[in-house]
């Protein structure tokens, strides 16, 4: 996958990034400043969810701008996850697909023991700890509740995609995004392609008519994937087991069409400047073992005006990979992936390269906070997440599905009976034609 390999080959220092970034740090430093907690211009950041993605997001928030951005507090369900993240942030680490090599960031960390929070209520304790901005990177099920708590207490937010796993959660996110708008709080989502230069350049040209009227599109995340092969220890509760292995359970991850393929689906909504009106999907579980999520989906989405979009995603090793988007118009075709893109047709175009979008999204967020611009991506990421959710619901049940019904009438709520380390039977793997539409 080009987007991953391109990032893995980079080693980016703070100075290197400043040179490459399309956003000038000089402009940031001269922007209208706001006073933050304690009467200074320091932005105090709290990290909620200390896994790999959360640790990566924290590095990007700290590396992207000047040293007045500080990590102030950390929260996770598990103490071992928090400690591992803290040590990595302090000492540095090698890069991976979403994070470049980085040296230790201890000089931008002020996280004493009393601001390290653990447990199901850790997020609220962190939010109450005098932070200005929170990074929400727990497993997706918890996003809607954590987002609501942060906005109600006046915090700016970076939240990873997806932002919910069911329609009930999506409704909460959309309502909370509206509250954030009223409070003039900045909200940026982890749909980093929205902050990637070649995506922006191509999508702007599409919206200006470069490929004419859009008549069809395709999006793909066909790649490898694994199975949950470990057995649950007898001493561990069902809840802890599922939270520690969250990717394999639908209630907490949303299945990979929601957790991963939402990136490509988001581009479809962006290109068409709408969400679909209905969809019909299929899929299944061919090789995956453990948990209850599927390993492949294919969804046909119908957008306003009768435009049909084919969405494919697969997590099966040893197969041909494709992670990209293709948009077909009456005057040309656009192709985009994580590393490159082009338009062919009456208005052919090849964009320049992009700076690291994982860092750029944090630069855009911090700049928005400092300027008081209240950048708010809450509704757009909620609608893209919901597009993936309705595709999953259609595939799981074998039923064609209308957007309005799913958004307004569906009662599907995957919340477990209680948040504690207790028994939690694994829901059966969905079977189309038998799994009910709720």
Measured at the CA of 241, the angle between CA 191 and CA 189, to 5 degrees, comes to 10
Q: How many CA atoms lie within 13 A of 298 on its CB side?
A: 1
Retrieve residue 213's tokens: 């009227």
Report residue 189 as tokens: 């989502």
Q: Measure the CA–CA gap between 353 and 340, rounded to whole angstroms.
A: 7
Q: State mean pLDDT over 280-285.
A: 98
Q: Which of 77-81, 94-98, 298-302, 311-315 has the lowest mean pLDDT?
A: 94-98
Give the count of alpha carbons within 13 A of 291, CB side only: 28
- Closest C-alpha to 364, from 379, 376, 380, 382: 376
Residue reference for tokens 């001493």: 235
The 3-state DSSP class for residue 298 equals strand
Give the number of other Cβ atoms within 10 Å of residue 82's Cβ.
23
Task: Quickly tell me which residue has 């990290």 as its tokens.
Answer: 47
Q: Indicate the pLDDT class of residue 18, thresholds 50, 70 and 90.
A: very low
Phi then psi dihedrals of residue 17, to 5 deg? -65, -40
Cα angle at 190 between 365 and 272, to 5 degrees? Answer: 100
Across the range 189-198, mean pLDDT stands at: 98
pLDDT digits (tens, 9 = 90+) for 283-316: 999 999 999 999 999 999 999 999 999 999 999 9
Q: What is the fold of 2-193+360-376?
A: Rossmann fold (3.40.50)
Give the sign of the dihedral formed by CA 203, CA 159, CA 32, CA 14: negative
Evaluate if residue 106 carries a pLDDT over 70.
Answer: yes
Q: Of 185, 111, 118, whose CA–CA distance to 149 is shortest?
A: 185
Q: Which of 63-67, 179-183, 193-197, 405-409 has the lowest mean pLDDT?
A: 63-67
Position 120 pLDDT exceeds 70: yes
Task: For 352-376, write each residue's pLDDT tens digit.
Answer: 988 899 999 999 999 999 999 999 9
Instruction: Please report the pLDDT score of residue 12 as a whole number.
Output: 39
pLDDT of residue 333: 98
Listed range (30-39, 213-222, 358-367, 404-413) with the worst mean pLDDT: 30-39
C-alpha 346/C-alpha 277 separation (Å) is: 30
Say whether pLDDT at 187 is over 50: yes
* Cα angle value 181/373/182 (rounded, 5°): 15
Average pLDDT over residues 95-118: 93
Share of the chain above pLDDT 90, in %: 86
Class of domain 197-353+384-408: alpha beta
Other C-beta atoms within 10 Å of 344: how many? 13
Q: How many CA atoms, within 13 angstroms, populate the side-chain half-sphere of residue 111?
A: 27
Per-residue pLDDT at 65: 77
Q: Map residue 101 onto helix, strand or coil.
A: strand
Query: What are the boundaries of each domain within the chain?
Result: 2-193+360-376, 197-353+384-408
Average of per-residue pLDDT across 27-53: 66
Please give the structure tokens belonging to residue 356. 């690291």
């Amino acid at each position: 996958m080009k987007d991953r390999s391109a990032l893995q080959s980079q080693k980016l220092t703070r100075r290197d990034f400043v040179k490459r970034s399309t956003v000038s740090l000089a402009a940031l430093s001269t922007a209208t400043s706001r006073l933050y907690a304690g009467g200074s211009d320091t932005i105090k950041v709290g990290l909620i969810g200390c896994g790999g993605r959360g640790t990566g997001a924290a590095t990007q928030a700290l590396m992207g701008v000047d040293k007045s951005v500080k990590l102030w507090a950390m929260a996770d369900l598990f103490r071992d996850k928090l400690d591992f993240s803290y040590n990595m942030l302090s000492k540095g680490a090698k890069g991976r697909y979403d994070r470049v090599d980085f040296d230790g960031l201890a000089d931008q960390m002020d996280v004493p023991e009393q601001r390290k929070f653990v447990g199901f209520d850790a997020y609220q304790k962190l939010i109450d700890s005098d932070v200005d901005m929170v990074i929400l990177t727990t497993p997706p099920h918890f996003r809607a509740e954590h987002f609501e708590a942060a906005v109600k207490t006046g915090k700016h937010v970076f939240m990873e995609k997806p932002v919910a796993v069911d329609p009930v959660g999506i409704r909460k996110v959309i309502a909370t995004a509206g509250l954030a708008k009223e409070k003039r709080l900045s909200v940026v989502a982890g749909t980093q392609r929205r902050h990637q230069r070649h995506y922006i350049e191509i999508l702007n040209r599409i919206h200006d008519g470069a490929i004419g009227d859009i008549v069809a599109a395709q999006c793909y995340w066909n790649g490898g994937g694994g199975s949950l092969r470990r057995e649950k220890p007898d001493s561990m509760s069902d809840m802890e087991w599922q939270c520690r292995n969250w990717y394999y359970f639908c209630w907490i991850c949303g299945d990979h069409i929601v957790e991963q393929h939402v990136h490509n689906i988001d581009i479809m909504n962006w290109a068409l400047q709408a969400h679909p009106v209905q969809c019909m999907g299929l899929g299944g579980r061919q090789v995956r073992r453990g948990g209850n999520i599927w390993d492949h989906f294919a969804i046909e989405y119908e957008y306003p005006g009768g435009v049909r979009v084919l969405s494919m995603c697969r997590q099966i090793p040893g197969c041909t990979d494709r992670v990209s988007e293709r948009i077909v118009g009456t005057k040309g075709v656009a192709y985009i992936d994580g590393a490159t893109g082009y338009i062919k047709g009456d208005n052919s175009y090849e964009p320049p390269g992009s700076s690291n979008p994982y860092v750029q999204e944090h630069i855009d967020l911090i700049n928005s906070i400092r300027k008081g611009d209240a950048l708010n991506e809450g509704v757009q990421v909620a609608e893209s997440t919901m597009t993936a959710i309705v595709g999953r619901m259609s595939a799981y049940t074998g039923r064609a599905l209308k957007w309005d019904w799913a958004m307004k009438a569906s009662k599907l709520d995957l919340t477990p009976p209680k948040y504690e380390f207790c028994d939690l039977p694994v829901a059966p793997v969905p079977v189309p034609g038998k799994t009910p539409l709720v």
